[in-house]
Amino acid sequence: MTTSFLEGERLVLRGLTLEDAEGPYPGWLDDEAVCRGNGHHLFPYGREQAREFIRSTWNDRSAVTLAMVLREGQRHIGNVALQHIHPVHRTAEFAILLGDRECWGKGYGREAGLLLCCHGFRALQLHRVGCGTFEDNGGMRGLARALGMKEEGRRRQAVWKDGRYVDVVEFGVLAEEFFEQFGHQGPKE
- Confidence band for 36, pLDDT divided at 50, 70 and 90: confident
Residue 189: inside a domain, yes or no? no
- Residue-level pLDDT at 189: 43
- Residue-level pLDDT at 42: 56
Q: Between residues 27 and 109, which one has the greater pLDDT?
A: 109
Residue 30: inside a domain, yes or no? yes
- Confidence band for 30, pLDDT divided at 50, 70 and 90: confident
In b/e form, how buried is each residue of 64-87, taking b as 16+ CB within 10 angstroms?
Answer: bbbbbbeeeeeebbbbbbbeebee
Q: How many domains, in total, are found in the chain? A: 1
Distance between CA atoms of residues 114 and 110, nearest Å = 6
- Residue-level pLDDT at 1: 45
| CATH number of 154's domain | 3.40.630.30
Residue 188: inside a domain, yes or no? no
Residue 123: inside a domain, yes or no? yes
Average the pLDDT over 33-60 and give the result.
80
- Confidence band for 183, pLDDT divided at 50, 70 and 90: confident
Residue 187: inside a domain, yes or no? no
The residue range of the domain holding 104 is 6-182
Residue 1: inside a domain, yes or no? no
Residue 168: inside a domain, yes or no? yes
Residue 115: inside a domain, yes or no? yes
